[in-house]
Amino acid sequence: MPQPTHRDTPLLTVTADTLVAADFGPRRRGGARAEGPYGRLFALPGTRAFTAGNLVARLPMGMFSVSAVVMIAGTRGSYALAGAVTATGLAATAVVAPWIARLVDRHGQARVALPATAIAVLGSLALLLCVRHGAPDWTLFASYAATATTPNTGGMSRARWAHLLDGDAKALHTANSFEQAADELCFMLGPVLAAVLCGALFPEAGTLVGAVLLLTGVLLFTAQRSTEPPVLRRPSGRAPLTAPGMRPLLVVCLATGAVFGAMEVVTIAFADAQGHRTAAGAVLALQAAGSCAAGLLYGAVRPAGSARSLLPWCLAAMAGLMTLPLLAAALTGSLLLLAGALLLAGMATAPTMVTTMTLVQRSTPEGRLNEGMTLAVTGLLGGIACGSAAGGWTVEHVSAPAGYGVPVAAAVAALVVSLVVSGASNRSTDSGAPH
């Protein structure tokens, strides 16, 4: 892993500035000029501290499900039980997460995130103990459901950037790109770390370490009060779900999540059919790596045009690149070529998510940003569940290579929705109606 070249510059900042040296114009703090868009971003006071805490808190998000599956299947001998428990946690998160985000908007990040995290950590520890001591199966479902109170740390971080960079669209684009790259990095490293801990130490190690990291990260993050967005005494009465333009964006999130969910299940099945199931994690990590690199580049060089006009192009690129794994699997059957295809396919993911999240931010009523961002994440989670089911059904009833058609279909569906919404917006503008 490359090391920082300056003690005040984070690792990802150096990586981004090494990739592309773009200039968004001067941005000074205290008379000193930071070089590069990411350098300027982290020249803002307090940004390094809350980002470091947030990254520590976000890493376990890629660890918990893998750790739970390994832990439960390894001790109870049932992947069906492990899958059912993790699915229950996903469903509980879809219900509880928007409610937690609404409380964050109304009462502040520190006041809500800390107790919510404490409940989630207790749920993880309860799951660990129930598995360890052979408790009845229903206790596993109850324990894992309690982890649904985990706050959306990525959404809270984006809310801080929106507060600090109010009115600076270019810098906010860079911040959103960094946050998406951080998401990809955590979901790339998290499963690998979980698998190593559970395999090298003991089955419960991944869950235990994840719980400690989550609590530590949230404590560090919420301790940075100077960058926390102020709580509006009278937030907008309109719920984010009913805000203009929000529902189509959530449909796009749902379809995009289906791309992720299907890709994961189908890749594991394909690698298993090739006799290399253990390599599936590394192959999937390449997709996340491609997305991470593309996210940093996308943030350093802001494309021309509005986010609404860019979204169909991003989705078209994603739909096109998703055909590469399908072709590699169907025509060659080579896991090595599939890995390269996934690396390329992942490069459209982060720009799509950055653009979508930017539009979600703009569509969310004032004072309810965490709730709006969490609704988008909930849409992604729902899509992941649907994509996993559709991908698994296709693999079982058709073939593993055919399963790669599911993410292509999901990406095309997202593209169609964005084109319909874009066309409706253009007709509304041409007719003189308010946009």
Residue located via tokens 């809270």: 156
pLDDT for 115: 92
pLDDT for 23: 38
Q: How many angstroms separate the CA atoms of 214 and 53, rounded?
A: 9
- Per-residue pLDDT tens, the chain, 435 aa: give them: 333 333 333 333 333 333 333 333 444 444 445 467 778 878 888 888 888 888 899 888 878 877 887 788 778 777 677 777 877 787 788 788 888 888 887 888 888 889 999 999 999 999 999 888 888 888 988 988 888 898 888 888 888 888 888 767 788 888 878 887 888 778 777 777 877 787 778 888 888 999 999 999 999 998 888 888 887 666 555 677 677 778 888 888 888 888 887 887 788 778 877 777 667 777 877 887 888 788 778 777 766 667 777 888 889 999 999 999 999 988 888 888 988 998 898 888 888 888 888 888 777 777 677 777 778 888 887 787 788 778 878 887 888 888 899 899 999 998 998 888 765 555 544 444 443
Long-range contacts of 17-22 (CB under 8 A, 24+ apart): 17/300, 19/293, 19/296, 19/297, 19/300, 20/296, 20/297, 20/300, 20/301, 21/300, 22/300, 22/301, 22/302
Q: Tell me the pLDDT tens digit for each residue of 373-428.
A: 778 888 887 787 788 778 878 887 888 888 899 899 999 998 998 888 765 555 54
CA atoms within 13 A on the CB side of 429: 7
- Mapped to the 3 state alphabet, what secondary structure does the chain carry? CCCCCCCCCCHHHHHHHHHCCCCCCCCEECCEECCCHHHHHCCCCCHHHHHHHHHHHHHHHHCHHHHHHHHHHHHHCCHHHHHHHHHHHHHHHHHHHHHHHHHHHHHCHHHHHHHHHHHHHHHHHHHHHHHHCCCCHHHHHHHHHHHHHCCCHHHHHHHHHHHHCCCCHHHHHHHHHHHHHHHHHHHHHHHHHHHHHHHHCCCCHHHHHHHHHHHHHHHHHHCCHHHCCCCCCCCCCCCHHHCCCHHHHHHHHHHHHHHHHHHHHHHHHHHHHCCCHHHHHHHHHHHHHHHHHHHHHHHHCCCCCCHHHHHHHHHHHHHHHCHHHHHHHHHHCCHHHHHHHHHHHHHHHHHHHHHHHHHHHHHCCCCCHHHHHHHHHHHHHHHHHHHHHHHHHHHHHCCHHHHCHHHHHHHHHHHHHHHHHHHHHHHHHHCCCCC
What is the chain's alpha carbon radius of gyration, rounded to the nearest angstrom? Answer: 21
Q: How many angstroms separate the CA atoms of 256 and 364, rounded?
A: 20
Please report the domains of the chain, with CATH numbers, ordered by start residue: 44-177+188-229 (1.20.1250), 239-430 (1.20.1250.20)
**This model's pTM is above 0.75:** no
Length reported for the chain: 435
Q: How many angstroms separate the CA atoms of 61 and 76, rounded?
A: 23
Q: Tell me the pLDDT tens digit for each residue of 293-349.
A: 887 787 777 666 677 778 888 899 999 999 999 999 888 888 889 889 988 988 888
Rounded to 10 degrees, what is the CA torsion of 109, 256, 183, 299?
-100
Cβ distance 171 to 165 under 8 Å?
yes
For residue 134, what are the contacts with CB-CB under 8 A and spacing of at least 6?
Answer: none
Task: Give Cα separations from 40 to 28, 165, 265, 300, 389 (angstroms).
Answer: 8, 11, 40, 11, 43
